[in-house]
Structure 1
Amino acid sequence: MGTSQHWRRLATVLTTTLLTASLIGAAPPPQPTTAQLGSPVLGQSAPAPVAQSGPASASTVGTTVTISSAKKTLRAPTPKISGTAAVGSKLTAKPGTWTSGTSRSYRWYANGQAISSGTKSTFTPSTAHQGKRITVKVTGKKSGYSTVSRTSAPTLKVARSSTPRVSGTAVTGKTVTASVGSWTPSTSFSYQWRANGTTIKGATSKSYKISSSHAGKKISVRVTGKKSGHTTLVRTSAQTSTVKKAAPAKRPTSVQHTSSSWNCPKGYPIKGNASSRIYHVPSGSYYKRTNPERCFATTAAAKAAGYRASKR
């Protein structure tokens, strides 16, 4: 090997050593002396030693390459809540479509405050959550991906309601009334009465007088409760027993006589004298001369009222 080539090889080894030391953060090896490198050949100067007092500079070692460890990003849509925001009514978190293989966890909130028991995909508000808005936060995790959390939009305020009841007798001509029970304070109500589940036209008051056309049917009432900012709730009562026809009104056995005429009304031929407690039949001697205070349908009715028969 020629002397010139020998110097070039030694310089290359030295540069490579310095570069490696710089990359791994080690101190560079000491510079070789002229004696160590050997005497230059006559007529050829030795290569200048490489000045290096520390790690090699960028100009010495070239561009430094950085290996990135950034994680991938999960596909994470905003979740939604399905169901009615009401006490005792189940809500369900709908997370949407996340990156395949993502594990999800849930946390429910009331007015932004975490609910200790709300860690499942479903949640049922209690009376403690009445008047509050509910949200759910879904957190997704997958190896090699950054953990992501998404929170739903809030519901309307949680409302409270009860199943209404129908009070009264299920008989034609009788009036039944809706009892709403316990709802969110200041709730306004509207009513719709039904017969065998079919809407009764015009029956939209708290009370309803049962029509004769509904004999043989069952009556119920649907109550709608509304309050600003709260969930509107609709509740329907249980049905009554089958509506019965009202018994025919019993005809009175006597009537008070108030007419200026001395004649009793039709159907009440027996004249009664209140002062004497005597009754007169049409065939009696004093019948036409008696101005009655009370008229009876039968002599039995007169006797039952405490009157006795005229002797003539």
Structure 2
Amino acid sequence: MSPRAEQHLLDAIDRGIAQYFAQRRDAIPLFVCQHFRYPGAWSTNRRALGWDLLRAPLNLLWAPFYLLSQLLAWLLHQAGLNSVARLLRKMPSGLQTQVQAYLMAQTQRQLLGLGDGASPLRDAIAQTIVADENLGRLSTEQEQHLHKALVDALSQYALTRTATADIGNTLVATIAGAFTLQKFTPGGLAIGAVLAGVVANRLAVADFFLGPWLGSWYYALFPAEPETALLVLSTASVMALFAVFACFSGLISDPLQALLGIHQRRLEKMLYSLERDMRSRTTGGFRPKDAYLARIMDIVDAARMGLR
């Protein structure tokens, strides 16, 4: 094949890729409606019942370490230590929950049209090229690259659910602290510490040697410091409660994100990243910012504890 003919074929393949992803983007509104609005949101999130009650809190604990490893991988890549960076990039993002597995499978099968022997990418390319002996080889190569890029993109998409649950926990802690404790409590650590302080104060007031009435005045001026055991118990209880909430936070956050267009924009970004990866023959272009926002909130929470 002459260079000109080969370039013509490659241009046609690029048009086929563009056509395929344009069709996939058109399917986003229906996909969001079916899986993230009611009654679909219940069908999606009811899968959290079971072992996800254990997996979700473990993922929340693991997420900061995973994010740190990916930041370190980026720094090592910039420094030219590519072999170590590649090893860090292979670090798992956490335990896959049933909700994540379901959404990844539905994204691959329903949104991207893959699975069950379907080859929508090849079909899209075939519409732009009339029979060509190199079509099969090139389109198969493109599909293999799509699969590689897809595995990376779907793992990042699944990670956004952990980050969203973490952000939801932080918002709940902040709101609960503001309305019930009149304190700024931007996370489980902070609200656990505040609750421990409240309990310690109540116990100290009740045991005050001049009586509880004078005790309430005294400890209003000089708050009692909670013991370490009480602080640990209070924080652990709050974190356990938030872990259960994290499993089912999608029942609230998914319809809200669908209403605000967050789910739509996230999926559009994933598809644009996949398309860009296909054209540039790279992978890993989809890196949502949810995890970084969640970690910033963790830093604020830890700083709040440090100031105490």
Whether TM-score is above 0.5 comes out as no
Structure with bigger strand share is: 1
Larger Rg over CA atoms? 1
TM bucket (normalised to shorter chain) is under 0.3
The two structures have a TM-score, normalised by structure 1, of 0.19
Structure with bigger helix share is: 2
The two structures have a TM-score, normalised by structure 2, of 0.19
